[in-house]
Structure 1
Amino acid sequence: MVGETLGKLRARIESLARDDGDFCVLCGRTGVRPVPVTDARFEDRATAEQAAEAATTYRAVLRRWDPRAPCYDFIACEVPEGLGVGPGRRATATGRRNASLTGFCHDVAAAVFEALSAEGFADAESAIMDAYCESADAIDDPDDLCLHLLTTLAAEFDSQLTSAEQARVLRTAAGEFPGPNTGGTPLTQTFERLQTVTIIGDYAVESSPEWVVGQQSWTVTIDDYALPTAPDAMPTLPIVIDLLRRLPRARLALSDVRQLDGGSWRFEVSASENGPSTGLAWVQATG
Structure 2
Amino acid sequence: MTSTSRKAYGVKGAPYAFLMPATVLFLLFFALPIGYAVWLSFRKVKVSGLGLGSGARKEVWAGLENYTDALTDNELVAGALRVLGYGCIVVPVMLGLALLFALMLDSEKVRLAPVRLAIFLPYAIPGVVAALLWGFLYLPDVSPFYFVLEKLGLPQPDLLDGGPLYLALSNIAVWGGTGFNMIVIYTSLQAIPTEVYEAARLDGATPLQIALRIKIPMVAPSLVLTFFFSIIATLQVFNEPTTLKPLTNSVSTTWSPLMKVYQDAFGKGDIYAAAAQATIIALATLLLSFGFLRAANRRNKQEASR
User: Higher RCO, 1 or 2 (CA under 8 Å, sep at least 6)?
Assistant: 2
TM-score under structure 1 length normalisation: 0.26
Task: Write 1 or 2 for the structure with the bigger share of strand.
Answer: 1
Q: Which has the larger radius of gyration?
A: 2
Task: Write 1 or 2 for the structure with the bigger share of helix.
Answer: 2
TM-score under structure 2 length normalisation: 0.25
